[in-house]
Structure formats: C-alpha cells, structure tokens
Amino acid sequence: MSLKGKTALITGSSRGIGRGIALKLAEKGARIAIHYYRNRTAAEATLEHVRKLGATGTIVQADVCKPDEIRRMFRQVRDEFGTLNIFVSNARTEAPTFYEPPMELTLDKWDTAVDSQAKAFLVAVREAVAFMPNGGRIVAISFAPGGRFGSWQPWVAMGAAKAALEVLVRYFAVALAGRGITVNTISPGWVEDSVLNSLPEVFQNGVREWQERGWTPMGRLGTPADIGNAVAMICSEEANWITGQLIDVDGGASLVDAHLPLEFQGIARPTHAGAA
Ligand SMILES: NC(=O)c1ccc[n+]([C@@H]2O[C@H](COP(=O)([O-])OP(=O)(O)OC[C@H]3O[C@@H](n4cnc5c(N)ncnc54)[C@H](OP(=O)(O)O)[C@@H]3O)[C@@H](O)[C@H]2O)c1
C-alpha cells in the first residue's frame, strides 16, 4: 500500500489526530502539505517528523472558518504541488469557540461550529477537485456520535456541524464518482494526544476509565496513528470502490448498547483504577 508520488493536504495537521494522519501518509511516501491555524511551531515539528520519515512537505496556514483563507491555502498548495491527490478535512476549532448547551448556545458559537465543518468542507472540496486528478481521495474526519445522540449537551453545535459534514460527504461522493474520486468519513472514537489532553484531568481520567471498563470493547483509547492508518487505507489504490461511507474507527465503541449495564452484556472489564 504505497502512496509514492501522491500529494496530500491535511487540515489541522500541526498536532493531534491531523498530525497522526500526516505522518502515516508521509510514511507511505506521500508529499505532505501541513496546515495550521495559529501554532506554527507545532506545524514545523510535524514537518520535521515528515522529513525524518524520508518524505517531503510544506506548511500552509488558514482559518477554516473563512472561505477566502481556505481559497488562499489551496492556491498556495496548487502553486507548490501542481496537483492534489488527497485532501483530508480534519481541523476543528477549540472547544470554547462552540462548547455550550442548547438553551444557552450563542449564534456566534453555532456559526463557528458550522462554518468550520460543513461550510469549510463545501468550499474546500470545490477548491481541491479543481486540481485533483481522477482517482483522488477526499476524507472528512467526524465525531459521529455527536450527530446521532443528544446527551452530551454542550456538544450540540459541533454535533450538528459534524452531522451536516457527513451528509455533504455522501452528496460529494455521488457528484465526484464519475471521476473516480472517492469521498468518505472517518469517525474516530476517543483518541489520546489530541484535544482530550487539553481538557481537565478529571474529564480525561473519566473518559479513559470509561473506555477501559468496556465501553470501548478493545479496552483502550485510540491513538493518532490508529486514525492515520485508517485514512491511509481509504486513500490506497485498493480502496477505489469505497465511497460515501462513514467508517467508525473506535475499537468497537460504536457497537456497545447504552441501554444495558456492561455486566449484563458480558463485556465489563477491570479498570486500572479498579485493579489498583
Ligand atoms: N480528539 C478526539 O478524541 C476526537 C474524537 C473523534 C473525532 N475527532 C475529530 O478529529 C479532528 C482532530 O481533533 P484533535 O482532537 O486531534 O484536534 P486538536 O488536537 O484540538 O487540534 C486541532 C487542529 O485544528 C486546528 N485549528 C484550530 N482552530 C482552527 C481554525 N479556526 N482554522 C483552522 N484550523 C484550526 C489547530 O491548529 P493550531 O495547532 O494552529 O491551533 C490544530 O491543528 C477533529 O475534527 C475532531 O472533531 C477527535
């Protein structure tokens, strides 16, 4: 599964899951455009990793909430690479820009969530396909549970924005099928070395313990490399018949029934905390 000779742009690849995706695509031989918003030092660190893997790359900057900046970013990638084989829409604004329960959510926060996901994807895909050869790959990174459930109240704006993103994926998949360009969603479960690590420790520990108990049947959180592997697979030549799909990459978390205690389902596991 080689991506030698391919070019890829991954938004939000300065750190977190985006960095994990950039490194996996670089490992497979792709030339990488690393995108950041404010954290140039982190983007430079990603580029250094990319080079250590024997690949080449460049750095681009944009606020994905601003269509003009998205267009400028794609112009820069086009000037540097000439063609774009892979586009991964991964960037997500910081939690305080959208995190509010439905009854208090301001319209500004709603707009930030939707602009950064659905509107950004709408603008970006049209820019990308203008210099994407037939057989290209487009991947959206979602958090599908946020769009399916209603219980994590302050996630409402991002949940709705991700749901709209997932719908766009299906429409673009059909629109671009004639050119052999596939468009898919990857939905990670909770991942280490991501936004999670910036949240209060009690939240982080609660999430880890919950997954280890069995809510993720594989008993651990994901890693950026796990998500990078899934993206690399969907970007391979061999995945050319898979389009418009949402793939949960979550160690089985999306398969667990929330209506029954884990013990009744026969999947409860001792946690580190419990075992200590
Ligand atoms: N973390 C998880 O467990 C998890 C689970 C499921 C899905 N996801 C999805 O995976 C993706 C990455 O999540 P993450 O936790 O790895 O993210 P993260 O560590 O919080 O990193 C966010 C990335 O987005 C960039 N960014 C922030 N605001 C931006 C803006 N206005 N315009 C453009 N770029 C902006 C950041 O750039 P700077 O470095 O320059 O600030 C950074 O590269 C997101 O789409 C998220 O919804 C995450």
Say if ligand 1 is within 6 A of residue 61 CB: no
Say if ligand 1 is within 6 A of residue 179 CB: no
DSSP string, 168-198: HHHHHHHHHGGGT-EEEEEEE-SBSSSGGGG
Distance 171 CA to ligand 1 centre (A): 24
Averaged pLDDT score across all residues of the chain: 96
For residue 1, the model assigns a pLDDT of 82
User: pLDDT digits over 61-77, tens only?
Assistant: 999 999 999 999 999 99
User: pLDDT digits over 228-276, tens only?
Assistant: 999 999 999 999 999 999 999 999 999 999 999 999 999 998 876 544 3
User: pLDDT digits over 88-147, tens only?
Assistant: 999 999 999 999 999 999 999 999 999 999 999 999 999 999 999 999 999 999 999 999
For residue 272, the model assigns a pLDDT of 63
- Do residues 114 and 160 make contact, with C-beta atoms less than 8 angstroms apart? yes
Closest by alpha carbon to 166, among 143, 199, 150? 143
Q: For the whole model, what pTM was predicted?
A: 0.97
Distance 188 CA to ligand 1 centre (A): 12
In CATH terms, the superfamily for domain 7-196+224-252 is NAD(P)-binding Rossmann-like Domain (3.40.50.720)
Separation between Cα atoms, residue 229 and residue 65, nearest integer Å = 27
